[in-house]
Structure 1
């Protein structure tokens, strides 16, 4: 599933592509992909785009008519800008028709992705409970100490809890903990202020580096020009057999997800 850096990369590219554009229409080819808010009694299109933002792993496209498009890519979803496609691409679930005959295709092999059309005021009804944005100033020592107080769950599980920190997933949780030299099984509430500060700083560093490299393409994630990201070439621990220091990497299961860590570096 695309995580924060991948979604932010797509958002950045959409901002460049959709600036001053108008959405003329939205065609849907899969019954479970598109959700219309019950307050929308007629199509919101055509409508001009007035702004885009990311919340966790969700993309929000705000329109002039006080409506918003919410996009969640799910496990395998991607947005591809390609005006040369005559017929539907394989696994295309929806298509945004833009001004000047441009198109943004929503392609999703496993069909877990969703597009919501709703009045802007109803956005909270379609987003899950989300915690702090890890790249914001609100993600600080005070917040994390309060959020982790009394929490005995492993810190890896906490990093992936969207109610605490929005946007992190398995790949980046592994990378962050390795670089911060924190064992993923450490009870969250046992981490000292010093180690939490290191965790916060490392989180911001890793996410910013990943965004700079246009995200991580290991399976389905692609940018809107259908090219891969590059951060997979800079991963230090995820799916590795040895860490950068040459120590064997151990693989365990946490919350049903694979955790990679170095028992030597992450004592």
Structure 2
């Protein structure tokens, strides 16, 4: 599943191709994605794309008429292709540009979404999101305040989009390992010093993943078709039963919130 770094890499990949371009055609082949594709998406036609931004794992195409909101879901991807390339299976949405290129959305599982937002409103999917993890708003003081008195385990806490957006399962595993924090430690039990270290490691792990082009596991490829390379840097995710890269003890795996959680019982303490 594309996580925040993969979505950010997609944003960076498509931006040079779409910003400043006028949309000449919008084709929706399958309107039944995670939510029905709204008819308002056709408002893109004739509009110039002013910018591409990201909020959590949503991409926003900005025009004078409003914003197209894109979520890649479990298996979605965006590609820049010549406008005359025939659609393949699971190619659900095309945004054709005056340049002769198009932005094509492919999604085998159809868990992604294309939505629409007017300029004077905020779409419900964006309205309750916490701060961006790489922003100044996500800092030690903020996390200490949010964690105060919380018995929620720290892994679920940092994966809560109302606390901070975009820290998905892969990067939660990696950040907790780097910070030496057991994933089942109650959020409210951690000292300010340990929370400070965790904030730093979340930022570091996500930035490294963005720099390396995202993590390719099953479905994600960048907009130019090249895979991400951060998978080569993973220390614990997907490595249960293998030696810890620090101490050599075999890594453990538990389910937290129905998600696979890998940790070292020696290096990560409660």
TM band (smaller chain): over 0.9
For the residue of structure 1 that corresponds to 2:262, the secondary structure is strand
Measure, in 2, the Cα distance between the counterparts of 1:141 and 1:242.
Answer: 31
Gaps of 5+ in 1: none
8 Å CA contact retained: 2:20, 2:48: yes
Q: Residues 117-139 of structure 1: CA distance to partner in whole angstroms, max 9, x if unpaired?
A: 23122333342521111100111
What are the superposed Cα offsets for residues 9-60 of structure 1, whole Å, 9 maximum, x if unpaired? 11111222223212222111112135327xx597341110111211111101
Q: Does 1:116 align with 2:115?
A: yes
Do structure 1's residue 238 and structure 2's residue 237 form an aligned pair? yes
Deviation string, structure 1 residues 53-110 (Cα, Å, up to 9, x no partner): 1111110110023x11100111110001121763212211111111122111100010
CA drift at 1:215: 0.6
Question: In 2, distance between residues paired with 1:223 and 1:42?
Answer: 26
**2: CA distance, partners of 1:42 / 1:144:** 41
Question: How far apart, CA to CA, are the structure 2 residues paired with 1:122 and 1:4?
Answer: 24
Question: Which residue in the other structure is 2:178 paired with?
Answer: 179
Q: Hey, what does 1:62 align to over in structure 2?
A: 62
Is the Cα contact below 8 Å between 2:183 and 2:263 reproduced in 1?
Answer: yes
Report the aligned-residue RMSD: 1.7
Unpaired segments ≥5 residues, structure 2: none
SS in 2 for 1:146: helix
Count of aligned residue pairs for this structure pair: 264
Q: Indicate whether 1:52 and 2:52 are aligned.
A: yes
Change in Cα spacing, 1:199 to 1:72, as seen in structure 2 (3 Å) is same
CA distance in 2, matches of 1:219, 1:142: 37
Native 8 Å contact 1:21 1:48 kept in 2: yes
